Amino acid sequence: MNTLILNERQIDTAAAIIRKGGLVSMPTETVYGLAADALNGKAVADIFKAKGRPMDNPLIVHIADISQIYSLVREFPDNAVKLAETFWPGPLTIILPKSDRIPDEVSAGLDTVAIRFPLHPVAQKLIMLSGPLAAPSANLSGSPSPTSAAHVISDMNGRIDAVIDGGDCEVGVESTVITLADEIPRILRPGGITAEQIRQVIGETLIDKAVTEPLGKNEAAASPGMKYKHYSPKANVILIDGSDEAFADYICHAKDDKSAALCYNEEKETLPCLCIPIGAKGDDLAYAHNLFAALRKADENECTVVYAHCPTKEGVGLAVYNRIVRAAGFEIVRL
């Protein structure tokens, strides 16, 4: 299959592909998604094939108008209404009991469905033209999520019908996922909307243990995506928790032939390896924005090792921590 590269004026071409059951990668404010008609089970099954994604990992359904949610869920409780009114459109996904209209391919056999209303105007226009869209991140399963059309092409060329090039994604990490299907709201995946922001709107909110810790052998994942190795470049990621001096010292004494450091802007010319800047020290938003592109850049340069600063677990830092600790196989070098 020849993958078309469309621009923002060709969204109607993309919508026609979706209506025929095809797959289109679309920009969102978080990462690029791989979209299909959410109500067409066969098209949704093709997403799993194109990504090499395990069939037991459910997809998010994207809407572009709150009124679209009513036929997709059985309940739209007060807390969900409050979150939607405050954070939609934006990088928040809400899990609710699903309606019968949701194909099993979307929910992977669960009784719930994840719903998100993205902020990106291209995604919104595509949804308005083609209806609700099921869309995971548009990477090959396991590799870092794509934050540009070039990343999508690098993983998906020849596997999908088209990609709409909408430039670089603003947030850079995937949406916050919260479940309201249990008694107490619980964050399953941290993202651009922080736990602190959510608590201001709905009060008590838990953070699932799997956000920061590996699952035990016999533990079930609340969010199936958490149990898979994720966000990994080909290079071995070494996550370092220590002072900037200790970080530099560790890299100076390491004996890897081809290594890269995800460094602060201030460190750029000072480390004896390929320096890939991820923003100013302490700027969690910049770290989130640059993280996946930086991991991909290390691979493009055929690095075998990537050193990274351990982010804080506060605010958007928690989203960065959640991604990078998985990329590092949950190992942290404490100096």
Provide the token pair at 263.
């460094």
Query: Residue 323 binds which one of Mg ion, ligand TXA, none, with CB within 5 to 8 A depending on kind?
Result: none
User: Is the CB of 59 or the CB of 303 nearer to ligand TXA?
Assistant: 59
CA–centroid distance for 8 within its chain = 22
User: Is the CB of 247 or the CB of 292 nearer to ligand TXA?
Assistant: 292
User: Is the CB of 93 or the CB of 205 nearer to ligand TXA?
Assistant: 93
Residue 274 CB, shortest distance to ligand TXA, in Å, is: 28
The helix/strand/coil state of 225 is helix
Query: Residue 93 binds which one of Mg ion, ligand TXA, none, with CB within 5 to 8 A depending on kind?
Result: ligand TXA
Which residues contact Mg ion (rule: CB under 5 A)?
A: 137
DSSP structure string for 120-137: -HHHHHHHHHH--EE--B
Burial 161-185 (b: 16+ CB within 10 A, else e): bbbbbbeebbbbbbbbbbbbbeeeb
What is residue 161's DSSP assignment? Answer: S
Provide the token pair at 43.
């098209």
Which residues contact ligand TXA (rule: CB under 6 A)?
A: 28, 30-31, 33, 57-60, 91, 93, 95, 107, 110, 112-114, 116, 118, 135-137, 174-175, 177, 188-189, 223-225
Helix (H) or strand (E) holding 138: none
Q: Dihedral of the CA atoms 265, 31, 224, 229 (nearest 10)?
A: -40
Instruction: Give the CA angle between residues 158, 162, 166 to the nearest 5°.
Output: 125
Query: Residue 61 binds which one of ligand TXA, Mg ion, none, with CB within 5 to 8 A depending on kind?
Result: none
d(CA 63, CA 70): 11
Residue 117 CB, shortest distance to ligand TXA, in Å, is: 10
User: Is the CB of 17 or the CB of 60 nearer to Mg ion?
Assistant: 60
Provide the token pair at 266.
């201030």
Residue 188 CB, shortest distance to Mg ion, in Å, is: 13
Residue 47 CB, shortest distance to ligand TXA, in Å, is: 9
Query: Residue 25 binds which one of ligand TXA, Mg ion, none, with CB within 5 to 8 A depending on kind?
Result: none
Residue 53 CB, shortest distance to ligand TXA, in Å, is: 8
User: Is the CB of 126 or the CB of 135 nearer to Mg ion?
Assistant: 135
Q: Which of 9, 39, 14, 13 is nearest to 25 (CA)?
A: 14
Query: Would you tell me how many other CB atoms lie within 10 Å of the CB of residue 267?
Result: 18
Amino acid (one-letter) located at 187: I
What is residue 98's DSSP assignment? Answer: B
Query: Residue 316 binds which one of Mg ion, ligand TXA, none, with CB within 5 to 8 A depending on kind?
Result: none
User: Is the CB of 24 or the CB of 305 nearer to ligand TXA?
Assistant: 24
Residue 105 CB, shortest distance to ligand TXA, in Å, is: 12
User: Is the CB of 90 or the CB of 136 nearer to Mg ion?
Assistant: 136
What is residue 14's DSSP assignment? Answer: H
Residue 297 CB, shortest distance to ligand TXA, in Å, is: 21
